[in-house]
Chains A and B, each alone.
Chain A
Amino acid sequence: MAQHTVTVRGLVRQFGPRRVLDDLDLVVRQGEFVALLGRSGSGKSTLLRILAGLDRDADGEIAVDGTVSVAFQQPRLLPWRRVWRNVSLGLHGVDGREVAEKALAEVQLTDHAQAWPLTLSGGEAQRVSLARALVREPDLLLLDEPFGALDALTRLAMHRLVDDLWQRHRPAVLLVTHDVDEALELADRVLVLDEGRIVAEHTPPAGRPRRHADLTELRARVLADLGVVTDEAA
């Protein structure tokens, strides 16, 4: 039996009268790349915050095996620490200049190690944030719409980078997004969340990198799950 990095059973999260997560089950296997799609308000970010340990008011069985790292939609770098120090924050206490620089090299930011975060572009800052998450060698990498605030060109480059880093380090990944193409391009498994439950599961073709043309039909089905009718589905 494959090891499970995330095991969630009967998860309920209530905000007042509203059930944001309603008896949700989820399993993420070791090294598996899972994308979680959903409209805004579907509870996907709530689920990620619970797995990150930022929300402790949920009921149900939640088991996460190993180290967890998070990359948020905003890079959330400390502006008063130089770039490499922001990365070494991920090591927590260990003054790992060398390790930090190695992680920066992996996101092609070696030259910016000494820079202040406010001098970086949006894409660069987000890559530092990725380096900070990866430097911990996490067993589970949580990505909360990390490309949502980037322009289209930078976003495409980031997809390639994340794919590359995942193949090299093999953490289990849970990517929360509302971008269907992103999910289909990157994930082993695509889950659709609606009204606090997982309502559909899709498996894109195994090869990587995936060609856009091979995904057209699947894309239409996922969009239909999300309540969007396209020409292909009609």
Chain B
Amino acid sequence: MSIPVLTADRTRVSSAAVTPTRKPRRRALSGAWRWASPVALLLLWQVTSSTGILPDDKLSSPAKVLAAGVDLATSGQLGDAFVVSLRRVLIGVAVGAVIALALGITAGLSRWGAVLVDPPVQMLRTLPFLGLIPLFIIWFGIGEEPKIALVALGFAFPLYLNVYAGIRDTDPQLLEATAVLGFTRWERLAHVVLPAALPQALVGLRQGLGVAWLSLIVGEQINADAGLGYLINNARDFLRTDQVVVGLVVYAGLGLATDALVRALEGRALRWRSTR
């Protein structure tokens, strides 16, 4: 009894395995060459600085930036600023996530939710939200609140849009299949709708975090007395371009780190897709 089933499947597999291989026309370049031009630019920067062509008060040399970074790190200034900025992002992202998930799930699951929630969110989305800073200052003052609010707002929109779309795209065939098995509405939500929306939601998370860092950088321009933005503004007042660049590099590093974190999360949560 078992034999015909197995032979049938084997036939399919073996026929797929005989696709002819195509020889690449040119020899592939080593991946290391991709570092050639960035390193050359860095050298050019160092040379122009050392020879005085690029003045120190416009842009410090890479060596000076490195030295300033070590200075700021050992004095503890950089660490303190880092912690303050990270805290702003974490609180802002947490607040934004609660809002985006609540609205996205409401709009995605119920027809009334979609009719009532989606239009105003779509309208607000078209506002350039960084333009809201004057209002935020009037509403929240110039302390931590407007900075956190800006991060929360910037983070919430991409997450909302993707959660909503992800839920809407759930395959109705899977919902039917589980309904036949006797799954209630809530069980279908847990076993089908939310897992189906997860890939799209993670895309929203990644986009949202990118916007969150951008919002932080802009928000920290508002009368900050601590954090990376404060460190940069302070350095500007003393024409310390080396310290400005250090701040920028840390911002970039933070952005890359969160991106890597979400990618790792995706790899773990979406294992079932990568095996295709």
- Please state if A92 and B275 are interface contacts (CB–CB under 8 Å): no
Instruction: Kindly state whether residue B1 has any CB partner on chain A within 8 Å.
Output: yes
Least Cβ–Cβ distance between B189 and chain A, in angstroms? 13
Least Cβ–Cβ distance between B10 and chain A, in angstroms? 10
Q: Given A78-B192, A121-B12: A116 and B4 within 8 A (CB)?
A: no
Closest to A153 in B: B8
Helix, strand, loop or mixed for chain B's interface? helix
Which B residues are CB-close (under 8 A) to A54?
176, 179-180
- Please state if A118 and B174 are interface contacts (CB–CB under 8 Å): no
Closest to B178 in A: A89
Instruction: Kindly state whether residue B210 has any CB partner on chain A within 8 Å.
Output: no
- Please state if B11 and A153 are interface contacts (CB–CB under 8 Å): yes
Bound Cα distance from A30 to B35, whole angstroms: 73
Instruction: Kindly state whether residue A53 has any CB partner on chain B within 8 Å.
Output: yes
Instruction: Kindly state whether residue B21 has any CB partner on chain A within 8 Å.
Output: no
Which B residues are CB-close (under 8 A) to A108?
2, 5-6
Bound Cα distance from A76 to B191, whole angstroms: 13
Instruction: Kindly state whether residue B272 has any CB partner on chain A within 8 Å.
Output: yes
Bound Cα distance from A222 to B176, whole angstroms: 32
Least Cβ–Cβ distance between B258 and chain A, in angstroms? 25
- Please state if B8 and A92 are interface contacts (CB–CB under 8 Å): no
- Please pick, from B4, B6, B196, the residue contacting A156 in the complex, using a CB distance under 8 A: B4
Closest to B173 in A: A76
Bound Cα distance from A94 to B179, whole angstroms: 16
Which B residues are CB-close (under 8 A) to A70?
177, 180
Instruction: Kindly state whether residue B181 has any CB partner on chain A within 8 Å.
Output: yes
- Please state if B191 and A78 are interface contacts (CB–CB under 8 Å): yes
For chains A and B in complex, what number of residue pairs have CB atoms within 8 angstroms?
86
Instruction: Kindly state whether residue A124 has any CB partner on chain B within 8 Å.
Output: yes
Closest to A159 in B: B4
Which A residues are CB-close (under 8 A) to B2?
108
- Please state if A69 and B180 are interface contacts (CB–CB under 8 Å): yes
Least Cβ–Cβ distance between B199 and chain A, in angstroms? 9
- Please pick, from B6, B182, B272, the residue contacting A80 in the complex, using a CB distance under 8 A: B272
- Please state if B181 and A90 are interface contacts (CB–CB under 8 Å): yes
Bound Cα distance from A157 to B7, whole angstroms: 9
Instruction: Kindly state whether residue B9 has any CB partner on chain A within 8 Å.
Output: yes
- Please state if A79 and B9 are interface contacts (CB–CB under 8 Å): no
- Please pick, from A89, A119, A121, A157, the residue contacting B276 in the complex, using a CB distance under 8 A: A119
Closest to B175 in A: A76
- Please state if A118 and B275 are interface contacts (CB–CB under 8 Å): yes
Q: Which residues, 34 to 76 on B, are CB-close (under 8 Å) to A?
A: none
Which A residues are CB-close (under 8 A) to B182?
92
Which B residues are CB-close (under 8 A) to A161?
1, 5
- Interface membership of chain B positions 151-184, coded 1 if the CB is closer than 8 angstroms to chain A and 0 otherwise: 0000000000000000000000110111111110
Which A residues are CB-close (under 8 A) to B176?
54, 72, 76
Interface centre among B9, B183, B271, B273 (most CB of A within 10 A): B9
- Please state if A123 and B5 are interface contacts (CB–CB under 8 Å): yes
- Please state if B192 and A68 are interface contacts (CB–CB under 8 Å): no
The 6 nearest A-B residue pairs measured at CB? A76-B177, A157-B4, A157-B8, A157-B5, A154-B8, A153-B8
- Spell out A's residues near B (CB within 8 Å): 52-54, 68-70, 72, 74, 76, 78-81, 89-90, 92, 107-108, 116-119, 121-124, 127, 132, 136, 151, 153-154, 156-158, 160-161, 164
